[in-house]
Chain A
Amino acid sequence: MTGNNRAARIAPANVDAALVDSTDQMLGLLSCDGTLLRANRSLVAFFDIPADEIVGKPLWSAPGWERWGIGTLNIKRAVREAAAGKASHLVGVLSGQSHIGHSVELDLERIAEHFGLQPSIALMGRFDAIGKQLSSARSLRLSQLYGAISDTNKAVMRSSKPEDVYRAVCDACIRHCGFKLAWIGLHDPLSGYIVPVEAAGPAASYVDGIRTGASPGSMERYAPADPTGRDLVASIVPDIAADPDLAAWHAAAAAHGLACLVSLPLQRNGALFGTLNVYGGKAHRFDDEAVALLEEMADNVSFALDHFDREALRCHTEAALRASEARLQEAQAVGRIGDWELERETGAMTWSPELFHLFERPLEMGAPDLDEALAYYEPDTREQTRARFRHAMETGERCELEQTIILPSGAVRHHTTQIVPLKDADRWVYKLFGTVQDITERMLTEQQLRRKTLEIEDLYQNAPCGYQSIDADGVIIRINDTALNWLGYAREEVVGRMRVTDILSPDSQPVFLDQFLRLKQTGLLQSLELELIRSDGSRLPVQVDSTAILDADGHFVATRTMLSDNSARKQLEIERAAHEARLAELSRHMVDVQENERRKLAGELHDRASPNLAALQLTLSNLACALPASVLAELEPMLGDAQALLIDTAAGIREICTNLRPATLDYAGLIPALQDYAQQFARRTGTSIRLDLAPLKTQLLPNVQSLLFRIAQEALTNCAKHADAGTIHLQLAETDDALIMKISDDGVGFDSCLLGESGSRPGLGLITMKERAEFAGGRFTITSNPVSGTEITVTFDLHALNTLWKTRQHPSRRASDRLLQAGPGLL
């Protein structure tokens, strides 16, 4: 028993396992789980059963194996331990019943980590003795053939390319067996010919010679006449010279000392690939046994060819795997995902490169164990992670968790880790694997998004105005908290249930519906004032602004509507209106007061000053008459002066009275007062006045008459001061419901825009009149331009006039009242 370790020399990439005899013959091939993949003739002979009954089954399931003595158990154990990577080789003796003394060296080698989880095993063995007695010559020949086969097998095991195998096979045939020629040709599928690629032996030139100048015709000579190429069985020519089919080559063969030949098919994936051709120097050199051994040799070459294909495929696959691994690493780096594995038993972890990067761990440090890995995590996360790992191991459930990690650089990152348990047949978790992804950026983005969303939501819900959306049917499909608070409804009562019209006051409903139609057409609704009805029935004035949401085809879908609380403004409006009413009332009151004062003053002057002056005049006259003529003559100029003073004073008082309050106005009414005033005005100013004063059907209140009179008076005064008019036209007319007074002139007008500006031509008087007219419910318009003169129009709604201006009792009425007591005579 030898302990040599030749299997270690077997090129790892070549086979899964090989069973080789003690002369380094390969007996067969084993997979790592002990399955016999191939068995050569010797091994089949050893077991003494048909090859298909043992090939494809575990070696130790072969019949009679249990009787093979100590090797039996050892092989089984050895294979198992080799698979686990614990044993390297084992030597034992096969002591089968019919093959006593056959010892086998089983050299176990874990041949490659290249096979990853599937380490292969080579089994090498030695048959020390063959049970049968052979004739010494035959025995020698067979022994030579075995040597050749063994070399062939070694070449098959060790070569990395077919050419090496071809050379080794040809060489072995010549070296061991003393053949004249051995060559290998490959089948050219296009031409159908066998093209020589390797030749060895003393007669090697036979191939060269013939090959030289070869033509398709001449090539035929190489192709054995038998069906080798087609039926894939050996073709034997025991005596070339005697074979008429080979007549064409008789001469050349003879010249090279070639007497017999065997042509053996080489197969690749079950198809003809080429031929191995062996020539002997003596006829009938090849008996059946030799041919069988040569066939085995050819089979082994075929096997090697197949193996090279498998190997090429494997290399290709491996390269593809490496490329895909590289891509995976790159993808992991881009996605900041790393993966890991954890062996439960040892606690050892493997990390992918990106994982090192994620943990800022130098690759040189190697993968940490679980505890060291957990130490990276922030304490809370650490315990949580540990618990999850434990849970996964105990329950076999996969899980996912998020973690916070403080990196060596101090950076705080967030990870998400997937844990996937792997279970064996007993549901025992022997391994965990999973991924780790850095989700910091995603989390930050999500947080930011969440914050923004919350901000926007808050803006929407708690804005200082109401928001809502209405669909095409007027149903409220969205509404914010502010609007709900105003209304006093819960969201679920409103959204999808109420129409806008349900929360509008009866007055607002038609207004809204009208505007809603317009909104659907124009896409816009602005500053619509509506009144909402709250859940408690109270009302809320709002201002509504809407824009339309349209679909891709421009059809109306819904509104974006903003509601603004209008109650403060409405309240202000009410207050302002009240204020204005008070102001108007005050103004009217002031007019009354003023008119009363004027009337009173005029009355005083009339009733007291004027008669006093008249009496004084008379008294003075009487006095003059009583004077002696001489005295009178002396005093006359002085008396005249005194009289003149009295007259002027009386006249002045009369003018003052007229200006203060024309007695006619109280006595006879507006029209006579206007007529008198116009007449005096015309006389005083020389301006011609045209009067169109239609008799009034309506009895105007005294204060209204005063107002109209004053407006006319002011207009005329203004005209006299500024207009330089030739004619003034004063009109007074009454329609069914309005009273219109119009004063126009043909003088120099002014720019209406300047009315009321300080320093502008028409003075404050007109402004005052305008205000008074408006406070009394009238409309006062003034149109003027420098060319066509000025026109002032005052219009009063008769009804409004009489309700607005209640009659006031004048506290003091003097002379004019006395006249009025009997009523006006003419009007």
Chain B
Amino acid sequence: MTIRIVLADDHQMFRHALRAMLEKEPGIRIVGEASNGDELIDLVSHQPVDIACVDIGMPGMNGIEATRRLLAIRPHVRVIGLSAFSDRQFVLDLLNAGATGYVTKAEAGDELLRAIHTVQQSKTYLCPDVAATVTSALLDNAPKDISAPRITARERQVLQLIAEGYTSTRIADRLHLAPSTVEVHRRNIMRKLDLHSVAELTKYAIRSGITTVSG
């Protein structure tokens, strides 16, 4: 069964890129695009839609208000928030408005697909970045997110070398990369894993078997 999706975002280029990505997926069909809240309401009122991917920061009617109105007239539509913001308040407000998914635009690729499939099954999906924010807000002393974060193969390589004591320059040499790119990877790893020092990175690498304690 094909999932009918509408995209609402005022950033046209992003919308098109998103559409190109989603249309490659089997079982997904983009049935319409809107560049603001009114167009979105208009779209869903005239055709059947399963999921609406809604940008929160749209001119005119914002994404949260648009979600509220949309669900008022089409309660069965699933709404996934798409935003450059991962701020807790936006997430909570959108969820309160009735959305069941929230994905940051930076993770609009795989995470959005994951969200689409999740909400289609009437579950809620928050991308990891957002999930961390919301969870820690709910539980002040919550343990760090233990669901295995997904790091890329390249990141795994970099993490292993960091844990083994290589400097960024030497890692860059080993992987034929610019040193600044190694730094980028490291920052991404730390952000994804919510780790804040080389020591923590090393600990994590050992615990998850990426490297072993050497001699």
**Chain A interfacial positions (CB closer than 8 Å to B):** 606-607, 610-619, 621-622, 625, 637, 640-641, 643-648, 650-651, 654, 658, 662-664, 667-668, 672, 675-676, 679, 683-686, 815-816, 818-819, 821-822, 824-826
Q: Tally chain B residues at the interface, Cβ within 8 Å.
A: 50
B106 touches A686 (CB 8 A): no
Q: Of A613, A625, A662, A825, which contacts B97 at CB under 8 A?
A: A825
Q: Which residues of chain B are near A645, meaning CB under 8 Å?
A: 181, 184
B17 at interface, CB cutoff 8 A: yes
B196 at interface, CB cutoff 8 A: yes
A622 touches B13 (CB 8 A): no
CB distance from B113 to the nearest CB of A (A): 10
Q: A615-B14, A621-B109, A647-B106 are in contact. Are A676 and B87 (CB under 8 A)?
A: yes
Inter-chain CA distance A615–B133, complex, in Å, is 24
Inter-chain CA distance A96–B38, complex, in Å, is 180
B56 touches A819 (CB 8 A): yes
CB distance from B149 to the nearest CB of A (A): 13
CB distance from A621 to the nearest CB of B (A): 5
B124 at interface, CB cutoff 8 A: no
B187 at interface, CB cutoff 8 A: yes
* In the complex, residue of chain B having the shortest beta-carbon distance to the beta carbon of A672: B89
B89 touches A664 (CB 8 A): yes
CB distance from A524 to the nearest CB of B (A): 63
Contact digits for B145-156, partner A, Cβ 8 Å, 1 yes 0 no: 000000011110
Q: Which residues of chain A are near B59, meaning CB under 8 Å?
A: 818
Q: Of A611, A621, A668, A822, which contacts B89 at CB under 8 A?
A: A668
B105 touches A614 (CB 8 A): yes
A822 touches B109 (CB 8 A): no
Inter-chain CA distance A780–B43, complex, in Å, is 54
Contact digits for B56-71, partner A, Cβ 8 Å, 1 yes 0 no: 1111111011000000
Inter-chain CA distance A277–B50, complex, in Å, is 190
Interface residues of B in 35-81 (CB under 8 A from A): 56-62, 64-65
Q: Which residues of chain B are near A622, meaning CB under 8 Å?
A: 17, 20-21, 24
Interface residues of B in 188-208 (CB under 8 A from A): 188, 191, 194, 196
**Chain B interfacial positions (CB closer than 8 Å to A):** 9, 11, 13-14, 16-18, 20-21, 24, 56-62, 64-65, 84-90, 92-93, 96-97, 105-106, 108-109, 133, 136-137, 152-155, 177, 181, 184-185, 187-188, 191, 194, 196
Inter-chain CA distance A619–B20, complex, in Å, is 8
B184 touches A819 (CB 8 A): no
Inter-chain CA distance A606–B61, complex, in Å, is 17
Q: A644-B188, A679-B133 are in contact. Are A664 and B154 (CB under 8 A)?
A: no
Q: Of A664, A685, A818, which contacts B62 at CB under 8 A?
A: A818
Inter-chain CA distance A818–B85, complex, in Å, is 13
Inter-chain CA distance A648–B64, complex, in Å, is 27
* In the complex, residue of chain A having the shortest beta-carbon distance to the beta carbon of B154: A640
* In the complex, residue of chain B having the shortest beta-carbon distance to the beta carbon of A690: B140
The 10 A-B pairs at the shortest CB distance, nearest first, are namely A614-B105, A618-B17, A610-B84, A615-B14, A611-B11, A825-B93, A815-B57, A650-B106, A822-B65, A648-B184
B188 touches A679 (CB 8 A): no
Q: Of B11, B109, B188, which contacts A651 at CB under 8 A?
A: B188
Q: Which residues of chain A are near B16, meaning CB under 8 Å?
A: 615
Beyond contacts A611-B105, A683-B136, A815-B57: 12 other A-B pairs, Cβ-Cβ < 8 A, are: A615-B18, A617-B108, A619-B17, A640-B153, A640-B154, A641-B154, A645-B181, A654-B86, A685-B196, A816-B57, A819-B62, A824-B93
Q: Which residues of chain B are near A664, meaning CB under 8 Å?
A: 87-90
Q: Which residues of chain B are near A606, meaning CB under 8 Å?
A: 57, 84-85
A826 touches B92 (CB 8 A): yes
CB distance from A673 to the nearest CB of B (A): 8
Q: Which residues of chain B are near A611, meaning CB under 8 Å?
A: 9, 11, 13-14, 84, 105
A625 touches B57 (CB 8 A): no
Q: Which residues of chain A are near B65, meaning CB under 8 Å?
A: 822
* In the complex, residue of chain B having the shortest beta-carbon distance to the beta carbon of A648: B184
Q: Which residues of chain B are near A672, meaning CB under 8 Å?
A: 88-89
Q: Which residues of chain B are near A643, meaning CB under 8 Å?
A: 152
B105 touches A679 (CB 8 A): no
CB distance from B155 to the nearest CB of A (A): 7
B85 touches A613 (CB 8 A): no
B21 touches A621 (CB 8 A): yes
A663 touches B90 (CB 8 A): yes
B64 touches A822 (CB 8 A): yes
Inter-chain CA distance A824–B64, complex, in Å, is 10
Q: Which residues of chain A are near B24, meaning CB under 8 Å?
A: 622, 625
* In the complex, residue of chain A having the shortest beta-carbon distance to the beta carbon of B15: A615
CB distance from A705 to the nearest CB of B (A): 14
A618 touches B108 (CB 8 A): yes
A825 touches B96 (CB 8 A): yes
CB distance from B127 to the nearest CB of A (A): 12
Inter-chain CA distance A299–B97, complex, in Å, is 166
A818 touches B184 (CB 8 A): no
Q: Which residues of chain B are near A663, meaning CB under 8 Å?
A: 85, 87, 90
Q: Which residues of chain A are near B187, meaning CB under 8 Å?
A: 648, 651
Q: Which residues of chain A are near B191, meaning CB under 8 Å?
A: 651
